[in-house]
Amino acid sequence: MGTTKSQDKTNHLKTLGQGGQTEYQLEGPHSGILETFPNNFPGRPYIVNVEFPEYTSLCPMTGQPDFGTIIMEYVPDQRIVESKSFKLYMFAYRNHQSFMETIANTMLDDFVKALDPLWCRVKGLFSPRGATTLHVFAEHFKVDAPNIAEVRSVVSEWKRENNRHGA
């Protein structure tokens, strides 16, 4: 029995490299690390949920490590994020110093820049430090999308069904 190949267009992807070699960009987080490929179902609002439970960065005041889970949820328009590039983007935060609120909002800005999604939410579920747990949620809707009412309905239902961590 032979192998089959989907209709996904992947020729332009660079992160995975040739022969499986990974191209690491360690100069810090930026939207250019995120690679995308075409959405084969642009007229259908559906949710993509990507979780990264091994997130680390550094406190800008103490230099101490912060840990957490980053969850990116989005309704794609024309582009989908390539998952390995998402992982490398998260790795780029390891030596980055920033407050958690800034991190979640910067990630949202980078995802919106790379994907131009119909909707996107970043959930930063940070591990307790000093007996205090901090969760940061940042959200974006593409308000000029022609099917924004349908997108909002899909997102609302998703939130109802997946109400983890209070949002």
Domain ranges of the chain: 48-161
How is domain 48-161 classified at the CATH fold level? GTP Cyclohydrolase I, domain 2 (3.30.1130)
Looking at residue 162, its pLDDT comes to 80
Is 66 a known active-site residue?
Answer: yes
Q: What are phi and psi of 124, to 5 degrees?
A: -100, 105
Active site residue: 8, 66, 109, 110, which one?
Answer: 66
Looking at residue 81, its pLDDT comes to 97
pTM over 0.85: no
133-162 residue pLDDT tens: 999 999 999 988 888 889 989 999 988 888
Q: Report, as ranges of residue numbers, the positions in the chain whose pLDDT lies below 50.
A: none
Is 59 a known active-site residue?
Answer: yes
CB 116 within 8 A of CB 79: yes
112 in a labelled binding site: no
